[in-house]
Amino acid sequence: AAPRVVVVGGGAGGATAARYIARESSGAVNVTLIEPTRRYYTCFFSNLYIGGLRDMESLGHDYGTLASEYGINVVHDWAVGVDRDARTVALAGGGSVPYDKLVLSPGIDFKEGAVPGWDLSAQNAMPHAYKGGSQTELLRAQVLAMREGGTYAMVAPPNPYRCPPGPYERISMVAHVLSEVNPTAKILIVDPKDGYSKQALFEEGWQKHYGGMIERIGPDFGAQNTSVDPAAMTIDIDGAVESVDVCNVIPAQRAGKIAHDAGITDGDWAPVNPADMSSRADPDIYVLGDAAQQGDMPKSGYSANSQAKVCANAVLGALTDSRVFPARYSNTCWSLIAPEDGVKVGATYEPTEEKIASTESFISQTGEEPEVRAATYQESIGWYAAITADMFG
Ligand code: FAD
């Protein structure tokens, strides 16, 4: 019988891995993809939706091509358990799926109690919008419904978290909308971190495009001591209570629950071997994307996609004796500060014994000409089309 690969999670890491394993093995490997949603809405470019520059449908992708063109068995269900001795994955709908190799790419969940006063039952009053789809739509609707001169607050997450520049690109896009429809509104960022990704670029851009609208409170002013009251729509920063009109709470994060249930996590994340993304706890399991603890790569869709290709190559090598190439990884994170004002940061990576280590890196410069920024934005549009085709076929 053909060897069996089960992939849990049909996002940036999982969809790519499933597609590459199925395509490169030309049917010699039986691939099952377990993913509860029938349509995946990318978090990448969701800030552009909030900024009114993309519609929601352009961010949605389904799994039909993976099934029809690549022969992947797409199961729309939740994986609720992994029996590592029997090598089976249990499904919420009942039954279980056997595997020879298991790939987990479940993304993130939020750490309970990370922001006192907030839990998932409060996510409609205070959205996170840090998983794609309805939360993103809710947040944009709330921004558009803000009273004149109102306050949008963001409680930013501590490191490490999904998409390091994501919260700050979001601030940029909210500022873009407000500067058009509600120019006296204010934006308040409450941030437990000393600094953040592309900070000089964002601060320069905010000054240029949205002067005076955005204020950031960092740890020096007690930001790591923040709680919220979703019923009262207040935020308490180290004892100072403030009323806000929108409150975007992005809590601290950890690997998706199924990685913890599989018993392959150490603390919040799942440690992996840098050469092939296999779990350090189980050679038959691979962990991709945000859930993995791998070293220097940021938690991004680009990283997850890059890791998935290395993993697919290693899985095929193990199951079919095909040639395994030395691992090379790469990442670029683009962010949009204002329409046509795009910036980027990126790097290439190689495995060492202990981690995936950055080898070369680049970042946009402050003071760049508008043409450079416009070209950077165009580059990101090309990237979005290419990566979603690489994931979903
Ligand atoms: P995901 O893509 O989240 O996929 C996980 C999938 O697993 C989900 O579809 C989920 O339904 C499924 N799943 C979870 N648990 C189970 C289970 N038990 N059983 C079955 N299925 C399960 N990255 C970039 O590269 N560029 C960007 O510009 C960018 N912008 C971003 C902006 C924002 C606002 C945010 C929030 C993120 C952004 N990212 C960006 C980050 C990117 O979205 C993530 O890093 C990427 O999606 C991670 O891929 P993943 O496969 O680990 O998880």
- Structure tokens of 176? 């873009």
Q: Return the pLDDT at 279.
A: 98
- What SS3 state is found at 268? coil
Predicted confidence band of residue 22 (pLDDT cuts 50, 70, 90): very high
- Rounded to the nearest angstrom, the distance between the alpha carbon of 254 and the centre of ligand 1 is 12
Cα separation, 159 vs 63, whole angstroms: 32
Handedness of CA 182, 133, 197, 52 (dihedral sign): negative
- pLDDT tens per residue, range 52-108: 999 999 999 999 999 999 999 999 999 999 999 999 999 999 999 999 999 999 999
Place of tokens 């921004």: 143
- Rounded to the nearest angstrom, the distance between the alpha carbon of 300 and the centre of ligand 1 is 8
Q: Which of left, alpha, beta for 124 (phi over 0: left; psi -120 to 50: alpha)? A: alpha
Cα separation, 88 vs 75, whole angstroms: 15
Query: How many residues are there in the chain?
Result: 393
Q: Among candidates 387, 243, 195, which has minimal Cα distance to 304?
A: 387
For ligand 1, atom 27: residue with the closest CA:
44
Interface confidence (ipTM) of the complex = 0.99
Predicted confidence band of residue 253 (pLDDT cuts 50, 70, 90): very high
**HSE (side-chain half, CA atoms, 13 Å) at 35:** 30
- Rounded to the nearest angstrom, the distance between the alpha carbon of 132 and the centre of ligand 1 is 8
- The packing angle between helices 301-320 and 12-25, to 10°, is 30
